[in-house]
Homo-oligomer: A and B are copies of this chain.
């Protein structure tokens, strides 16, 4: 492509117009102009995550995310962070299984600075041997920290158990051993092969004009890259077949006050039409204080402080589950109550009131979850990078409204019949306490 191509994806009625430009390099720029804010959130989304790593590169994507903050040809680590701190901006990054995101929230007048700094990191990281060695220690610290955050860490252990030794099952950070084994050559190769313009989406929301954003991004990025012939598309991943999943029980012995339980099973893939029914089901079973599990486990029996359902969807696999944290002596009873309620729901025992509440909750989270510039930035970026569609809020609300009690019951029967995985963490010596 030799020139930029711009289109309007959503009209101003959506709380500000959404526009998209494909630059000659294949880099995509999306923006939503939102009046009434003094801040702008600017994000760069790279279509690479831990699931893209061959096993010998396990942890390389997350390692790169750290290393980009260590220095570029024009800035050292202090200059990178100082530039945005000086204007009161926030800058951070995160790595997922299917993407890596760098973002900054700044006052609108500081957008040029944010674009310049993050672009510099994306295109011109130096990845020196010294930085790689010292940052390895920081990654070790981060892995140790996560291992201690037991109520979060149990979710990683559950995913590892469900997906086994597959790219989706491996931890995003890698292990201390896999990170120790990464050579500078491997890390630099991963950077060069994945941080390419056709694999990157730039997304901005706030008090900005699309033409200004495009001008800034072109100035910062395009001199690094040549033009491309192909129209960029959402990242394609996985095969037509679903990723294999595994069942069973694992008990992780830890000397802690609270036991953590996750009971789950395979869920929907991202594109599944039943995802709106799945959202409503989540609200009914474990989404809020009036949900079935909160009522049965906490309100009626006082068995746990925290109990909720969760789920994730990827290109070719997904998961759903229930988390509960409780005193160790109560774990078997909590599991009994959870299992009984899932069975009940799978049999279609859902009241019309519960359906209404489940739909109301989902509607509320859609409308109220989009009020800040970070959420708006994320929505349009994910639509471009992984979903391949950007429905309007009204379209989403209509799809939620269309969900019937029958849709939800049939989905529950389907999902809860999947091979169960039970992950337990706590001061348990007798593993036979727990079965699936």
Task: List chain A positions with a Cβ less than 8 A from chain B.
Answer: 35-39, 69-70, 77-78, 80-82, 85-91, 105-107, 134-138, 140-142, 144-145, 147-151, 255-258, 283, 287-291, 294-295, 298-306, 325-327, 353, 356-357, 360-365, 367-368, 371-373
Contacts and interface: CB of A to CB of B under 8 A. Distances in A.
Nearest to A256: B148
A59 to B, nearest CB: 15
A71 B256 CA distance: 33
14 contacts: A35-B36, A38-B368, A69-B289, A81-B289, A81-B290, A88-B361, A88-B363, A91-B289, A107-B367, A136-B302, A145-B257, A147-B258, A148-B256, A148-B257
A308 to B, nearest CB: 13
Contacts of A363: 88
A145 B356 contact: no
A288 B85 contact: yes
A362 B88 contact: yes
A290 B78 contact: yes
8 smallest beta-carbon distances between A and B, as pairs: A88-B364, A137-B302, A81-B289, A141-B305, A144-B257, A36-B36, A82-B290, A81-B290
A38 B36 CA distance: 13
User: What is the total number of copies of this protein in its complex?
Assistant: 2
A211 B245 CA distance: 58
B37 A86 contact: no
A67 B197 CA distance: 55
Given A91-B289, A368-B39, A299 B78 contact: yes
Contacts of A295: 77-78
Given A82-B353, A305-B142, A360-B86, A368 B148 contact: no
A113 to B, nearest CB: 11
B360 A141 contact: no
B88 A298 contact: no
Contacts of A258: 141, 144-145, 147-148
A104 to B, nearest CB: 11
